[in-house]
Amino acid sequence: MSFVFNPMDPEFLRDPYPVYTRLRNESPVLRHPAGFHIVSRYEGVEAVLRDATTFSSAAMGGGMRANDSGGKPIVIGGSLIGQDPPVHTEQRAIVNRGFTPRRMAALEPRIRSVIEELFAKFEHTGRVELTGQFASPLPVTVIAELLGLDAERRDDFKRWSGTLVVASTSPGQMGSPELLRTSREFRTYLSEVIEERRAHPGSDLVSVLIHAEQQEGVLDAEQLLQFASLLLVAGSETTMNLIGNAVLALLDHPEVFEWVLEDLDRLPGVIEETLRWDSPVQLLMRLTTCETELGGVTIPKGAPVMPLLASANRDEERFPDAQRFDPERNSAGHLAFGFGNHFCLGASLARLETRCALESVLGRLRELQLDGETVERHGSFLIRGPKALPLRFASAA
């Protein structure tokens, strides 16, 4: 291999896809000098995610973890996402109760009313910074309400979840004092909410989790706190970027944009293709529990393994003409929500929120275009999406 894979390289962070192509072609299971193994072909990524016995999730959350020497950190990786069976199976069954298809479908009217509230602030102005004014507050508000948190504090939730996911996987920000301070603030807030909900339970998700702690002994108090944090973070940063990536993809492909404007029922195809073509979660982490072989490479026990979801989704062997954005293709089988026992708990919620969001953005903001020359992406190798998305449009009549 003639180049060193550096996930911190600004050029890579701007556009990782050429590097993924080289990895798939030249070294589909690459041992990085830092000791981790990067898996870039669809077949390999799927094999890793399928085999939770060999590839443990104990490594998940490593990058999201804020090491805190002073107080206890918020550790997302200590929750569901970092567990293996049988503990994972038990915990997953609990949160599944809060994410039933019925509960999700019932959210649609509320999602639409949050969209109305957000649109009211900018629809008449002809301008919007879509990430900050819309794509971020929408999922934060929805997940906060599901958890029974005070949606008025959504600016804080946004700051906390953004710092924990994006800043903790961005060069120069890992372990920073800002990250540690944010982590402590978040813990203090959630601890207070949990105490209050113990005294006054409701029908929200935090109450569901407290019930599991008190009645069934499945969760301890620390796990409960981590669980609530995971849901808040996983439910906001990801969907925000799916909305942004979809709008960017459409602006970059005017013919597709026209095609979808003719019939907004085509949006589900656009959403699935965006998930495949420009995945909001670019990669995952696993840890080998024994020596194993993958794609002809021997991986020792205890080695970190990095399955590149976004690269697997661009694998020509799996998706013909994979580099092309084509919402009419069959994108089923994309790995943007993961695969196997940790398959995204919020996939249907994310799809619902994004469909409602894009229906309004495309259906109501006429002559939509970028307000500026370039769009800055997040500087994170884990999460991909526009940091800010300034748009102009013709104000509604």
Give 135's DSSP letter. Answer: I
Q: How far apart are CA 170 and CA 383, in angstroms?
A: 10
* Torsion sign over Cα 146, 151, 156, 158: positive
In this chain, which residue has its C-beta nearest to ligand HEM? 346
Q: What angle do CA 144, 137, 157 make, to 5 degrees?
A: 50
Q: Interface with ligand HEM by CB under 6 A: which range of 35-43, 112-120, 218-226, 331-339?
A: 331-339
137 makes contact with ligand HEM (CB under 6 A): no
Helix (H) or strand (E) holding 311: helix 309-312
Nearer to ligand HEM by C-beta: 245 or 393?
Answer: 245
Q: Interface with ligand HEM by CB under 6 A: which range of 187-195, 208-216, 229-237, 258-266?
A: 229-237
Closest distance to ligand HEM from the beta carbon of 146 (Å): 7
Cβ neighbors of 332 (< 8 A, separation 6 or more) are 272
- Which 22-61 residues touch ligand HEM, going by CB under 6 A? 57, 60
Phi and psi of 275, rounded to 5°? Answer: -60, -40
Rounded to the nearest 10 degrees, the angle between the axes of helix 221-234 and helix 177-199 is: 110
Closest distance to ligand HEM from the beta carbon of 77 (Å): 10
Among 78, 148, 162, 235, which residue sits at the site for ligand HEM (rule: CB under 6 A)?
235
Q: Interface with ligand HEM by CB under 6 A: which range of 18-26, 170-178, 227-235, 375-383?
A: 227-235
Nearer to ligand HEM by C-beta: 353 or 393?
Answer: 353
String of contacts with ligand HEM for each residue 63-82, x by CB under 6 A: -----------------xx-
284 makes contact with ligand HEM (CB under 6 A): yes
C-alpha dist (Å) from residue 188 to 72, 74, 194, 197, 207:
10, 10, 10, 14, 18
Closest distance to ligand HEM from the beta carbon of 311 (Å): 13
Q: Interface with ligand HEM by CB under 6 A: which range of 259-267, 323-331, 344-352, 361-369?
A: 344-352
CA dihedral 237, 85, 213, 140 (to 10 degrees): 10
Q: Is 322 helix (H, G, I), strand (E, B) or coil?
A: coil
User: Binding residues for ligand HEM, per CB under 6 A?
Assistant: 57, 60, 80-81, 92, 143, 230-231, 234-235, 238-239, 242, 280-281, 284, 309, 336-338, 342, 344-346, 349-350
